[in-house]
Amino acid sequence: MNTNPAPNAAIGHNHVPKMTARNVNVFYGQKQAIKDVSIDVSPEHVTAFIGPSGCGKSTFLRCLNRMNDTVDGARVEGRIELDGQDIYAPVMDVVQLRARVGMVFQKPNPFPKSIYENVAYGPRIHGLARAKADMDNIVESALRRAGLWDEVKDRLGESGTAMSGGQQQRLCIARAIAVDPEVILMDEPCSALDPIATARIEELIDELRGRYAIVIVTHNMQQAARVSQRTAFFHLGTLVEYDETPAIFTNPQQTRTKDYITGRYG
């Protein structure tokens, strides 16, 4: 059992949380990957999940839009709410949930289609655009918000897979933005990128903050310190500590957190 006292799920009381998780356990077959995690996600902050490899931070992230449903033998217990609505309830439509809680993956994964089609695909399947002009608008504003418009406006017909890695990842962010989500989950979005592309993505995250609730998983502690306002430290499937980012990095309450951020293990 966890010998440390359970961390606070909530920090402060000035916001209604966008998403809340209570006593979440995740099992892959017999193996328990997440143990009793409770956490609130703020609507206007960037929340970072940090921790050593295999600590369950990505697994937990994938619970927030039910991407774990596609994994054979995965089982989620506990309660996760989006705006007070249980996302694992039978009435919850998982397709709509994933439109409201978008996701950006570790490796840039644009569809092998044109840049335009990459962005337009989500709005199209959800019926968000009535006419071609509507769609053009949606595509342009999503690409603008992802900071990609000026680079690609003259070659929207070119393949999304022909761009550089950093551009591909921003295209994936534009694709997620295009369906007008409320929450964007980012699973180590910069781990496959070079430092310049990483800096560009971090700027972008900062620009998107406030408009969308953002949860980012990262193994890079400097990145968590740079982009997030809240940080949750996971270790061995448990949430060890959750606090304002400066507090985690300057004044951790738990010895495990302190050991991790000072490089004792990880």
What track of x and - describes contact with other proteins for positions 106 through 145 (by CB under 8 A)?
Answer: -x-xxxx--------xx--xx-------------------
Q: Which of residues 158-187 bind other proteins (CB under 8 A)?
A: 172, 175-176, 178-179
Query: Least distance to other proteins from the beta carbon of 139, Å?
Result: 14
Report the alpha-carbon distance of residue 96 to residue 12 in Å, rounded. Answer: 30
d(CA 219, CA 214): 16
51 binds other proteins (CB under 8 A): no
Residues pairing with 103 in the sheet: 185
Q: Which is nearer to other proteins, 50 or 176 (CB)?
A: 176
Tokens of 113: 């289609």
Among 45, 98, 230, 235, the residue binding other proteins under the rule CB under 8 A is 98
CA-closest candidate to residue 213, choices 166, 176, 169 = 176
65 counts as binding other proteins under rule CB under 8 A? yes
CB-nearer residue toward other proteins: 161 or 253: 161
* Binding region for other proteins (CB under 8 A) out of 34-42, 52-60, 94-102, 243-251: 94-102
Give least dist CB 158 to other proteins, A: 16
The dihedral built from the CA positions of residue 27, 32, 36 and 40, taken in this order, carries a sign that is negative
CB of 181 to other proteins, least distance (A): 9
95 binds other proteins (CB under 8 A): yes
Would you tell me which residues interact with other proteins (CB under 8 A)? 65, 67, 70, 72, 95-99, 102-105, 107, 109-112, 121-122, 125-126, 172, 175-176, 178-179
